[in-house]
Structure 1
Amino acid sequence: MRIMLVTDAWEPQVNGVVRTLARTVKELKEMGHEVMMVTPNDGYKTIPLPTYPEIKMALFAKDDIEERFEAFEPEAVHIATEGTLGLAARRMCIQHRFPFSSSYHTQYPEYISARFPVPVSWGYAFVRWFHNMAGRVMVATPTMRDLLISRGFKNLAIWTRGVDVDQFNPKLRQADRGPLAGIAGPIFLYVGRVSVEKNVEAFLACELEGTKVIVGDGPARKDLESRFPEAKFLGAKFGDELAACYANADVFVFPSYTDTFGLVILEAMATGTPVAAFVAPGPKDIIPGSGAGVIGDDLEAIIKACLMIDRSKVRAYAETFSWRASALQFLQNLDPLPVMERYKVWNRVKNALRLRKKRKIV
């Protein structure tokens, strides 16, 4: 298939959305599919997203997206994010009646409400409007699907996540704790963006014997460092060093309520490190019954309970998740209309774009 994938979140950003899309594209290409990426790195004029400057919002991209759309002649269009590129691609598809799919990666309304005095209901009104024309809206877990159904969403489909069990491996655990050497144990680890919507403060406020370690960066880092001087803030880590941080921790702590899945949960589990998390979308679908972690409302208690978990069982559970299976599920969700109808629509689109180009020349 020829697939056009539009996303406002892309490298060099470091987050679960980017890692999910990058690995999905890699798997699709290995299966023989052709993927055209539309990202903020494609030469558009950009501005930083307020309070989240590493995300660049592309401006005035619709005409270029249309030209690339016509030249590539995709069989499917997937819009991954609700940013300016996503809005431009959505408008193009609706204008030309070309079917598209979308995905819901972040609890956007809760994210906005945590940063600005905006009611959560306003955020849901926007994301519901954004996704209401998609033939499929892909979500990571059944809990997230049920939540969005209760909010009036339709055409929802599951698109689960995977983990690289070769890169994230228990063999990286070392006697001297590798990149965490010299830090008193037990070591309790958080990996991710250090920002208000991630609820990192709830983890740092726990009274635990040992050391709390934060891997990642973000706007709340300086404030939290000053308020919790006993914690170790190591900044962002990547690749094998990041995997080694997971492997050499004793418990991975996931305090977020706003993530829709939490890819870091699987990465930690793949190294054998058990996961403690609040009862929230993502953890409540991954952890219960797995023997690989504990969820609950008392974060201190579930962190301590995780110290008793057999690390070999944690690794065995993570091995059941595959990026190839995730990519195949993504493919199954890409065909929102019957094939013949899709090609009838494509003929209308080509004619409309040709006429538009002629008008521009005149």
Structure 2
Amino acid sequence: MRIVDVNEFYSPTGGGVRTYVDRKMTILGEMGHELIVIAPGREDRVEERAGGRIVYVKSPGMPFDSNYGLLWDAAPIHELLDRYDPDVVENCSPWRPAWIVTDWPGTGNKRAIRSFFVHNDNVEAYPKRWFGGVASPQAIERAFAWYDRYQGRFLDRHDTVVTNGPAMTARLRARGVRVDATMTLGIERRHFSPAFRDEELRAALLDECKLPPGGHLLLGIGRHHPEKRWPVVIDAVGRAGAKLPVGLILLGRGMATKALERRIGESPHIRLFRPTYDRARLAAIMASVDAYIHASDAEPFGLVGYEALASGAPLILPDAGGMAALADPLYTETYRARDAVSCAEAIGRFFARDQAPIRAAAAAAADGVLSDEEHARRLIAHYDAVIATATARTA
């Protein structure tokens, strides 16, 4: 099977979508399939990969976030689709790419199926963040029901609509948005394990936070973007640090980096580092911290949280969003989403507990995290079924 993914959210500088797509390409190649990604770039170029390739189309940059671009011109994308003649065309952007994909006529007598893969929910990520302080979630959903109706117009022209997990499926269906299948994401299990815990690395990271080996070490990972709500965690760690020797390592970069640096100020216990793309290094960091902490309540799935749990890291999570599905009292403390005081209290509760059984419970749960190979097999089986139905309909 050849899949062409017209992916406006694929960024050469990183992000959850890139992590997912890069690994998926490798897995599909090992299964005998091919994944070709059409992504916005600063120039036209092709990166050959095992299992497929990344085809960058010269595109304008996205306003306010230079890590991403905008696929706007249909002609070069239709030309590429004609050239590659896919069995499946995937798309995950609800804006211009959704219409570019639906308007592509296909090649010859063959009609590739169109799949819309929901990786994010713009109602959660933007209106609920912008207006959450002045209106209820239900009122915001009613005010932006036009967006769900808009989505319906292009989803009606797709052969299948899939989401990246049960939280996203429940959220969309509650608003009347079509979902045909839940394709829960998996992680690259071989890279993440509690066995990679390194006490020397932990001590070195605590030293970066100007804390001794007996201090407490938290880790956060993700883009520096307002929807990630890192100020909640930064403020919470500052509050908790008044009573506890707690440090925070944040891996990431983005449009809000300067704002976060100002928020941190002179605190010696909170450090920002660039993201690491060395999977072994990342896995060792995850396995060596005392807990992974998250802030976004608009997270559609939370791949990094699953990687942290597979590394045996306990969790401190908001009580809303895709990551909340990971919460288990045996190895998790939760707090009211968007509430730094509640988050600080959760940090305090977490470190007041006996750490050995918490870490043991997280290590036991690590074995149950879904692998990305299983996700890929389920996705291909779903596409095979959709293709068979479409073929029978036109026979």
TM-superposed CA distance for 1:253, in Å, is 0.7
User: Aligned equivalents of 1:236 and 1:75: distance in 2?
Assistant: 35
Of stretches 211-220 and 296-305 in structure 1, the one that deviates more from structure 2 is 296-305
Instruction: Give the corresponding residue for 2:373.
Output: 324
Query: 1:10–1:18: 8 Å Cα contact kept in structure 2?
Result: yes
1:178-218 superposed Cα distances (whole Å, 9 cap, x missing partner) = 56151322011111011111111111111222112211111
User: Aligned equivalents of 2:63 and 2:312: distance in 1?
Assistant: 37
1:205-264 superposed Cα distances (whole Å, 9 cap, x missing partner) = 112221122111112221222122222112222223332332222111111011111011
State the number of aligned residues.
Answer: 344
Aligned partner (choices 121, 132, 146) of residue 107 of structure 1: 121
Unaligned ranges ≥5, structure 1: 348-362
Give the residue type in structure 2 aligned to 1:110: E
Percent identity for Structure 1 against Structure 2: 23
Query: 2:114–2:159: 8 Å Cα contact kept in structure 1?
Result: yes
Give the residue type in structure 1 aligned to 2:229: N
Instruction: Give the corresponding residue for 2:250.
Output: 214
TM-superposed CA distance for 1:132, in Å, is 3.6
Give the residue type in structure 2 aligned to 1:3: I
Instruction: Give the corresponding residue for 2:45.
Output: none
2:10 corresponds to 1:10 = yes
Evaluate the alpha carbon distance shift between residue 24 and residue 316 of structure 1 in structure 2; reply closer, same or farther with a 3 A threshold: farther
Instruction: Give the corresponding residue for 1:286.
Output: 326
User: Aligned equivalents of 1:228 and 1:254: distance in 2?
Assistant: 17
Instruction: Give the corresponding residue for 2:360.
Output: 312
Query: 1:251–1:303: 8 Å Cα contact kept in structure 2?
Result: no
Evaluate the alpha carbon distance shift between residue 43 and residue 106 of structure 1 in structure 2; reply closer, same or farther with a 3 A threshold: closer
Give the residue type in structure 1 aligned to 2:205: L
Q: Which has the higher contact order (CA 8 A, sep 6+)?
A: 1
| SS of match in other structure, 2:199 | coil
Evaluate the alpha carbon distance shift between residue 57 and residue 304 of structure 1 in structure 2; reply closer, same or farther with a 3 A threshold: same
Give the residue type in structure 2 aligned to 1:313: A
Instruction: Give the corresponding residue for 2:264.
Output: 228
Query: 2:90–2:114: 8 Å Cα contact kept in structure 1?
Result: yes
- What is the TM-score with the length of structure 2 in the denominator? 0.77
1:1-362 equivalent positions in 2, closer than 5 A: 1-41=1-41, 42-60=55-73, 62-92=74-104, 98-113=112-127, 120-177=144-201, 180-182=205-207, 183=209, 184=211, 185-206=215-236, 207-208=239-240, 209=244, 210-229=246-265, 230=267, 231-239=270-278, 240-288=280-328, 291-297=330-336, 298-307=342-351, 308=355, 309-320=357-368, 321-335=370-384, 337=386, 339=388, 341-342=390-391
TM-superposed CA distance for 1:93, in Å, is 5.6
Give the residue type in structure 1 aligned to 2:65: Y
| SS of match in other structure, 2:60 | strand
| SS of match in other structure, 1:265 | helix
| SS of match in other structure, 2:260 | helix
Instruction: Give the corresponding residue for 2:50.
Output: none
Evaluate the alpha carbon distance shift between residue 200 and residue 130 of structure 1 in structure 2; reply closer, same or farther with a 3 A threshold: farther
Query: 1:288–1:295: 8 Å Cα contact kept in structure 2?
Result: no
- What is the TM-score with the length of structure 1 in the denominator? 0.84
* RMSD between superposed Cα atoms in Å: 2.9
Evaluate the alpha carbon distance shift between residue 205 and residue 34 of structure 1 in structure 2; reply closer, same or farther with a 3 A threshold: same
